[in-house]
Amino acid sequence: MNKHTISVLVNDQPGVLARVAILLGQRGFNIDSITVGRSEEAGLSRMIIVTTGDEKILEQVMKQLHKLVDVIKVQHLSANPMVARELALIKVGANAANRSEISGIVEPFRASIVDVGPNTLVIQATGDSGKIDALIELLRPYGIKELSRTGVTAMMRGTSLAAKIAN
Partner 1 sequence: MSTETAMAEKRSYFPQDLGKPMTGAQILLRSLLMEGVEYVFGYPGGAVLPIYDSLYGHELKHILTRHEQGAIHAADGYARSTGKPGVVIATSGPGATNLVTGIATAMMDSVPLVCITGNVPQNLIGTDAFQEANICGITFPITKHNYFVRDAAELPRIIREAFHIATTGRPGPVLVDIPKDVSNQVTNYYYPEKVQLRGYNPTTKPNRLQIDRMCQAIKGAKKPVILAGGGVVHSGAEKELLDFVEKTKIPVITTLMGLAGFSGHHPFHLGMPGMHGSYTANHAIQESDLLISIGARFDDRVTGKLSTFARNAKIVHIDVDPAEIGKNVETFVPIVGDVKLVLQAVNEKAEQPETEDWIKQLMEWKRQYPYSYENDDKVIKPQWLIQMIYESTKGEAIITTDVGQHQMWVAQYYLFDNPRSFITSGGLGTMGFGFPAAIGAQFANPDKTVVAITGDGGFQMNMQELAVAAEHNIPVKIVIVNNRYLGMVRQWQELFSQRRYSAVDLSSGPDFVKLAEAYGIKGMRASTPEEALDVWNKALNHEGPVLIDFEVEPEENVFPMVPPGAGLDDMIMGGE
Q: Which residues bind partner 1 (CB under 8 A)?
A: 10-11, 14-15, 18-19, 22-23, 26, 56, 59-60, 63-64, 66-73
Nearest-approach distance from CB 149 to partner 1, in angstroms: 27
Q: Which is nearer to partner 1, 44 or 113 (by Cβ)?
A: 44
Q: Which residue, 11 or 150, is less far from partner 1 as judged by CB?
A: 11
Least Cβ distance, residue 41 to partner 1 (angstroms):
10
Q: Hey, which bits of 12-166 come out as E strands?
A: 31-38, 44-53, 71-76, 82-93, 112-116, 120-127, 144-149, 153-156
Dihedral of alpha carbons 15, 37, 135, 158, sign: positive
How near is the Cβ of 15 to partner 1 at its closest, in Å? 6
Is 109:103 a contact under the CB 8 Å cutoff?
no
- Nearest to partner 1 of 68, 144 (CB atom): 68
Residue 165 dihedral angles phi and psi, to the nearest 5°: -65, -45
